[in-house]
């Protein structure tokens, strides 16, 4: 069972967000989880979907194009925002 599931802490670390943000995603239905005792467990398949690992190739390419365009158009602004 351990290999099939992630804890909220493990998923938060992978996503680079807080555990509270993971709990909010569970609460608002963006993420399915199973409550085992006092711990929420997230199936790795569901986590992969949230992480984008199971996106179709075409959709990944489309996202890549959008990101590249945003970087080319607003790259300097992103750098300035990153310094704050």
What's the CATH class of domain 1-53?
mainly alpha
Looking at the chain, the whole-number percentage of residues with pLDDT higher than 70 is: 90
Instruction: Determine the 3-state secondary structure of 32 from DSSP.
Output: coil
Q: Grade residue 59 by pLDDT with cuts at 50, 70 and 90.
A: confident
Report pLDDT digits (tens) over 4-22: 899 999 999 988 889 999 9
Instruction: Determine the 3-state secondary structure of 3 from DSSP.
Output: coil
Q: Grade residue 2 by pLDDT with cuts at 50, 70 and 90.
A: low
- Tokens for 57, please give them: 């190739």
DSSP code at position 69 = H
Q: Which of 40-44, 47-51, 76-80 has the lowest mean pLDDT?
A: 47-51
């Amino acid at each position: 069972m351990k290999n099939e599931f992630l804890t909220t802490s493990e998923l938060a670390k992978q996503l680079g967000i807080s555990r509270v943000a993971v709990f909010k995603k569970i609460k608002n239905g963006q993420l399915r989880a199973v409550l085992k005792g006092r711990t929420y467990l997230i199936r790795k398949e569901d986590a992969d979907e949230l992480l984008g690992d199971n996106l179709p190739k075409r959709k990944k390419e489309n996202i890549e194009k959008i990101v590249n365009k945003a970087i080319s158009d607003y790259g300097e602004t992103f750098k300035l925002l990153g310094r704050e």
